[in-house]
Structure 1
Amino acid sequence: MGQSEWERVLGTLAQDPERGFNLAHECCGRWAGDRDRLALVTRHPDGSAQRHTYRELFRLANRAADAFAAAGLGRGAKVGVILTRQVEAWIAALGTWHAGLVYVPLFCGFGHDAVAQRLNAAGVDAVVVDHRWRAVLEAARPLLRRDIQVFTVTGADGDGLLDGDRDFAAELEAGHPVTAMAATAADDTAVVMFTSGTSSEPKGCVIPHAGVIALLPWLDHSVTAGPDDVVFTTTDPGWSFGLLSTGAAPMVRGATRVMYTGDFDPGAWLDVIEQEGVTCLTSVPTAYRRLVTAGRDIPASLRCAVSAGEPLDAATADRWRRLTEAPLRDGYGQTELGMVLADLASAESDPVPGSLSGAVPGWEARLLGEDGEFIDGPGRGEVVFRRPPYQLSSDYANAHELWESRVVHGEWFRTMDIVRRDEDGRWWFVGRNDDVIVTAGYNVGPGEIEAVLGSHPAVLEAAAVAAPDPQRGSVVRAVIVLADGVTPSAALTADLQDLVRREIGRHAYPRVVDYVPELPKTVTGKIRRASLREPLVEAG
């Protein structure tokens, strides 16, 4: 099925990757001839909204490309971007791709050290920054190894514009000479996307213009978003899931996308879904946990929802089913690969929370044992993928040797993630290689324990890590965020321990249980287990 799937995908594109491929045209320009096709709705906490058709968005992106060219940024120059869920992020992205530049998104929550580290690693020549984070960029400038030009998205009355800055909005209206769309090749770099760095230094994933093709099988077979859909994109475009998986990929299909600029608020999200007629919701498990406890119905316009970032727990999925008929499908991917395992719309049975129904069409997955050999049939090991014709990333900008080490047996890409495949062919996430807990001679996956703990009605979220023990070397430690109104107690701790003991086994039950107000997470919503392996917090 693999090759025929890629042939199908290529037949849906506006460009032939073998003859040239520009991401700005594929996800926006191809639709600009339809003056009424809505591309992006940006909703604000006060209820106001901005609406941009593909035609208008492409026009603004072309002006951004003209402004970059007028500033002397030539083909292949790198443009850092410190923007969030705002239309300027998309004007800047499309403009860089149009001009043959490289887009380097940075999360707006970074401090100046993190910003400087990434700008240096990527070799950035210019930065587009919102006025809210202009001071952070200024604090990073003494640490940079090269001078940069700054384009500032100003606030009211020009707030945030410093001496030497270019006003981004003014540049779009300046009437710069028109630049033709760059004739980029499919493998030319479009994006350098830094990973979230859960357990190591962030790596700059090199994403070519045609990298988006790797996401289309997942979009078509799991999200099932098409030109008539309205997709609520909740993830920040500073990360690949927001910029590419649920950003550029739905635009390739001509869908309308909705962004909300405020902080996460379940009620506000449900209002947006209802008022904009959202048909597809994309988010992380943490958000779904909050939505199902908001005490409101899920709007009837919603026909599907997808989750990614962490395994979807059974309790949340069950509550979702009781609230809506819209299926909630889980997915797994990496910036290096794309979205590669998922609950598929064509699956004969309903999704099983905590697992994934199979590999996305076009992708082939296998298990790799500790001895480096493949495991056939049911088993547990590192999941690896045969490299397809199109992969989201092609290299690490700052760690080429590490990238090369990820390829084994000639054509299989290592994920560093441990999973279990059951007799039905379903895939169950166990944990990162460095997250697996070794206790009394047993290997215990944190994902299994977290799923069981999350099924308890008193538990909102749970994480499992190793804790040192003089007799066993390590024991399982559970870190719990309790549901609203629940307080810690010895009886509750015993109940949670017994639950894991019954569901998984005595070897896996948490001998240490701590209660915390919230779990440490990356900005993409993944549990930062490395932080939890530090000295124990006091039990609540």
Structure 2
Amino acid sequence: MSEVPQDTAVQVRRWLEVYGAEDADAAHLLVDRHDPDQIAFTQIDAESEGGLTATDITFGQLAEDSRRLATALASRGVGRGDAVGVLMGKRSELVVSLLALARLGAVYIPLFTAFATPAIEMRLRGASAKLVITEPSQVGKVEDLDGVEVIVAGPQFDGLIADSEPLPQSVAVGGDGPLVLLFTSGTTGSPKGVPVPVRALASFHAYFEYGLDVAADDVFWNAADPGWAYGLYYGILGPLATGRRNLLLNAGFSPEAMAEILTRFGVTNLAAAPTVYRSLSNNPSFTGFQLRRASSAGEPLTPDVVEWAKSALGCEVRDHYGQTEHGMFINNHWNDVLRRPVVPGSMGYAMPGFRCGIEAGEIAIDTAASPLMWFTGYLDAPEKTASRFTGPDRSGWYLTGDAGREEDGRFFFTARDDDVIIMAGYRIGPFDVESVLITHPSVLDVAVVGRPDQLRGEVLEAFCVLADGVAGTDELEAELQQLVKTGFAAHAYPRTVHWVDELPKTPSGKIQRFKLRQQ
């Protein structure tokens, strides 16, 4: 295990003193302490004729709008500890909503816009949320949920801000107080809630400085979706905490749009999922850029993409590793103090503030020696929580569930011990998809696995046992695919459906997905 320079340990302690203080005020830390004239985000929208427009959003605007929205939400009964869902793409109203909730000591629930109503409802019900803030394109997914009030971006949202007085005083919940509740997919049950406390901002700040090396004069762009951990932690919360601008592309991804943004804004520091880099590498015209830093997270990069980036982007793309439960904590760090040559296949070294190792064949975090570790357990899931920790009172190792090895302080990912599928950087639990497919009257039993895919990393395949007398047809396959799109999430449908007589199972009845993957 490698030792980090002493000055980084001192800096980690300073961040913990700020973000972990008993009187920590999230709204102050994220927005109020920054220069009000400084640009916090630049929102990029698609015009009807195909071009892109940009709107700068200052910290002062975010502070004023969030104070007023906080007053409006308080009048609807939102207070300290209450959870509120936010179902939006990358737009300013999402940031204002997060900050308004922070001012009230309430909890922000990110909802991915590709989710269908059942996945959204499960998260809202799991958090006992009575309110959701959304955008016009998503209203149809939430407007009929019983007991859930809906606020829509546009005239209603703007009217609440215009007609409300600024909240005079924010609620300081302290470093251990909740800020976000983010649900993560599992393999054997419903997605689990991950409570994110205010002190987690210390870890996010550290990754910004050590992993991404976002400098004051960088033009930074995290292209990940804020409905998931990497986009929320390092596309919204990290930029706010550190006072660094991020670009918010509120439009569909394409290599052409990516090229226009890199050129027009002079992006120097890019963070994105491997799928983005793979897509760009398949476009011969995407070349000639000069980035200072490029980072990837979600799954290991393939050597061909790493080699392509050196000429096309002007710098190599560095792999980083983390989880929803912690953020990033093993990196091929970009910061000059920690930067070392990249070894192919390696995720790099533990980030300052974390001590990592291999325990029982898994990549693990030494909880007692990792001051930046903030995860203490899943929401209302004590058994799942206990399975992640060793030692009394969670004082031993946190087990990631990912198999790996360590060589001279460097870590290498070898395989996931669970069956989570990572597609285009999104983690998908097979159980979620299987739970939808099994509702079809023609399906008696079903299993879902991941299949390697050159562009997306993995895609889903389903193996279905059909009812007597039912034939597996192309029409039935399309019907099952649509069922997943409408019953769970648009991105998570199985690209291929196989018809089988039975599923391989253990004597206790557990599906042996590894055998299906071997087929």
TM-score interval for Structure 1 and Structure 2 normalised by the shorter chain: 0.7 to 0.9
Cα shift at 1:25: 1.8
**1:42 counterpart = 2:43:** yes
Once the two structures are superposed, residues 446-487 of structure 1 have per-residue CA deviations (whole angstroms, 9 ceiling, x without a partner) of 99xx9xxxxxxxxxxxxxx9xxxxxxxxxxx9945468xxxx
**In structure 2, what is the equivalent of residue 517 of structure 1?**
none
Superposed, 1:105-120 pairs within 5 Å as 105-120=110-125
Query: Secondary structure at the residue paired with 1:396?
Result: coil
Distance 1:389 1:343, change over 3 A: same
What amino acid is the match of 1:395? Answer: G
Once the two structures are superposed, residues 163-184 of structure 1 have per-residue CA deviations (whole angstroms, 9 ceiling, x without a partner) of xxxx212101112363411122
**1:25 counterpart = 2:28:** yes
**In structure 2, what is the equivalent of residue 79 of structure 1?**
84
Q: Which moved more, 1:265-274 or 1:3-12?
A: 3-12
**In structure 1, what is the equivalent of residue 441 of structure 2?**
none
Distance 1:224 1:237, change over 3 A: same
Structure 2 CA distance for aligned equivalents of residues 229 and 109 of structure 1 = 31
Cα shift at 1:43: 0.6
Structure 2 CA distance for aligned equivalents of residues 84 and 5 of structure 1 = 35
Residue from 429, 436, 452 that aligns with 2:413: 429
**1:274 counterpart = 2:279:** no
What amino acid is the match of 1:216? Answer: H
1:70–1:176 Cα contact (<8 Å) kept: no
Cα shift at 1:343: 0.3
**In structure 2, what is the equivalent of residue 391 of structure 1?**
373
What amino acid is the match of 1:22? Answer: D
Superposed, 1:318-357 pairs within 5 Å as 318-345=307-334, 346=336, 349-357=340-348
2:331–2:347 Cα contact (<8 Å) kept: yes
TM-score normalized with structure 1 length: 0.73
Structure 2 CA distance for aligned equivalents of residues 304 and 289 of structure 1 = 17
TM-score normalized with structure 2 length: 0.76
Structure 1 CA distance for aligned equivalents of residues 209 and 353 of structure 2 = 12
Query: Secondary structure at the residue paired with 1:7?
Result: helix
2:288–2:312 Cα contact (<8 Å) kept: no
Cα shift at 1:19: 3.6
Q: Which moved more, 1:115-124 or 1:403-412?
A: 403-412
% identical aligned pairs: 29
Residue from 359, 362, 377 that aligns with 1:368: 359
Runs of 4+ in structure 1 displaced over 6 angstroms?
A: 520-532, 534-537
**1:131 counterpart = 2:136:** yes
Once the two structures are superposed, residues 243-291 of structure 1 have per-residue CA deviations (whole angstroms, 9 ceiling, x without a partner) of 1133211322211110111111011012111111222111111110111
1:306–1:330 Cα contact (<8 Å) kept: yes
Structure 1 CA distance for aligned equivalents of residues 19 and 297 of structure 2 = 30
Distance 1:16 1:421, change over 3 A: closer
Structure 2 CA distance for aligned equivalents of residues 16 and 213 of structure 1 = 6
Structure 1 CA distance for aligned equivalents of residues 126 and 380 of structure 2 = 6
What amino acid is the match of 1:67? Answer: A
**In structure 2, what is the equivalent of residue 471 of structure 1?**
none
What amino acid is the match of 2:112? Answer: F
Q: Which moved more, 1:317-326 or 1:47-56?
A: 317-326
The count of corresponding residues between Structure 1 and Structure 2 is 437
Q: What is the root-mean-square deviation in Å for CA atoms of aligned residues? A: 3.4
Cα shift at 1:527: 12
**1:406 counterpart = 2:397:** no
Q: Which moved more, 1:357-366 or 1:174-183?
A: 174-183
Distance 1:299 1:251, change over 3 A: farther
2:30–2:240 Cα contact (<8 Å) kept: yes
1:199–1:530 Cα contact (<8 Å) kept: no
**1:244 counterpart = 2:244:** no
2:16–2:372 Cα contact (<8 Å) kept: no
**1:290 counterpart = 2:289:** no
Distance 1:323 1:171, change over 3 A: same
Structure 1 CA distance for aligned equivalents of residues 450 and 20 of structure 2 = 49
What amino acid is the match of 2:386? Answer: E
Query: Secondary structure at the residue paired with 2:125?
Result: helix
What amino acid is the match of 1:213? Answer: A
Which segments of 5 or more consecutive residues in structure 1 lack a partner in the other structure?
159-166, 370-380, 437-445, 451-464, 466-476, 484-519
What amino acid is the match of 1:361? Answer: P
